[in-house]
Amino acid sequence: AKDLGRNSYQLYTPAMNARSFERLAMESSLRHALSRHEFTLVYQGKIDLNSGRMSGVEALVRWRHPEMGLISPAEFIPLAENMGLISEIGAWVLRAACRQCQSWHELGLPRVRMAVNVSTLQFREGDVAELVKQALTESGLPPQFLELEITESVLMQRVDENAHVLQELRSMGIHISIDDFGTGYSSLSYLKRMPIDALKIDRSFVNDITEDGDGAAIVSTIINLAHNLKLRAVAEGVETQEQADFLRARGCDEIQGFLVSRPVSADDLVSLFDRNLL
């Protein structure tokens, strides 16, 4: 669709054409995905390393495309951000997740907290605090059962404005965690100024725990940092018993990963409530 000269088209290989065609097709169907009810949420438990119980749940969005099948958020979230659709999708996710959590509570299941990812752009451009208020009111979920996961890179830009928004959310009683911690550029002085509750140690470090000394040293350092700042330390992407043992020995508070459960549907998650998962 680029207005290039005729000869320029020779620069594109058939594979590139196919890829950009696919992208175009994906873009046009992404525009209609919400109204066609093609988004769905799956849930992954967070397990408290002391009790062995599920203490929280992270909502992860999926797009069921009628022809292309299940599309990963890693693929369509960046696209949605570029297309200006992220706030709408984010609002849907937040409302659906709050409703789901409240309905588990109403079923009499143990009261877990629901964590929702907020994208960089959504945090910067949307009125997240207003959105959160609406989602809580509408669902009836008490604020202390909602947690927002925000990536480190978002928070480290425009620190003062962000701290202000977070403060507003915090004063409502919402929990905040920093996602993918260790992959961005946070300085310790920023961290101290941010009203946050937990650091989520990025999967890449957890993955490295037993391979060599580096991952282990980094993970231990982040756990200590979290505790010194009076924050919880949560490890994501825990796949092996060895990693879980290491994390427990170092005092990590919660783990999340394929070792305990893959992200599953709301119905499937129910079987994980109220039993020891370690």
Where does this chain bind Ca ion (CB under 5 A)? 117, 149, 179-180, 236
SS3 at position 69: strand
Q: Which residue has the tokens 């967070």?
A: 46
**Strand segments (E) across the chain:** 39-48, 54-65, 69-71, 113-118, 146-151, 175-181, 198-201, 232-235, 254-255
77 interacts with, out of ligand C2E, Ca ion, none, CB within 5 to 8 A per kind: ligand C2E
- Determine if 93 is a binding residue for ligand C2E (CB under 6 A): yes
186 interacts with, out of Ca ion, ligand C2E, none, CB within 5 to 8 A per kind: none
Question: CA–CA separation, 95 vs 255, rounded Å?
Answer: 25
128 interacts with, out of Ca ion, ligand C2E, none, CB within 5 to 8 A per kind: none
Q: How are the residues of the chain apportioned to helix, strand and coil, as percentages rounded to the nearest 5? A: 50, 20, 30
In the complex with ligand C2E, the residue whose CB is nearer, 12 or 204, is 204
Shortest separation between residue 155's beta carbon and ligand C2E, angstroms? 14
148 touches 115 (CB < 8 A): yes
Shortest separation between residue 7's beta carbon and ligand C2E, angstroms? 39
- Residue from the set 61, 96, 176, 226 that interacts with ligand C2E by CB under 6 A: 61
Q: Which pair of tokens denotes residue 267?
A: 């119905």
Shortest separation between residue 159's beta carbon and ligand C2E, angstroms? 21
Site string for ligand C2E, 7-36 (x = CB under 6 A): ------------------------------
Site string for ligand C2E, 223-242 (x = CB under 6 A): -------------xxxx---
Shortest separation between residue 10's beta carbon and Ca ion, angstroms? 38
* Residue 11 φ then ψ, to 5°: -70, -25
- Residue from the set 48, 147, 152, 179 that interacts with ligand C2E by CB under 6 A: 179
- Residue from the set 17, 50, 72, 157 that interacts with ligand C2E by CB under 6 A: 72
* Pairing verdict, β 54-65 and 113-118: parallel
263 interacts with, out of ligand C2E, Ca ion, none, CB within 5 to 8 A per kind: ligand C2E
State whether the Cα torsion 273-49-72-124 is positive or negative: positive
237 interacts with, out of ligand C2E, Ca ion, none, CB within 5 to 8 A per kind: ligand C2E
- Residue from the set 38, 40, 53, 73 that interacts with ligand C2E by CB under 6 A: 73
Shortest separation between residue 41's beta carbon and ligand C2E, angstroms? 7
Shortest separation between residue 29's beta carbon and ligand C2E, angstroms? 18
Q: Which pair of tokens denotes residue 145?
A: 């059962």
Question: CA–CA separation, 146 vs 56, rounded Å?
Answer: 9
| Residues 6 or more apart in contact with residue 273 via CB below 8 angstroms | 54, 104, 109, 110, 112
- Determine if 60 is a binding residue for ligand C2E (CB under 6 A): yes
* Residue 119 φ then ψ, to 5°: -75, 160
SS3 at position 229: coil
Q: Which residues bind ligand C2E (CB under 6 A)?
A: 44, 60-61, 72-74, 77, 90, 93, 117-119, 149, 179-180, 203, 236-239, 257-258, 263
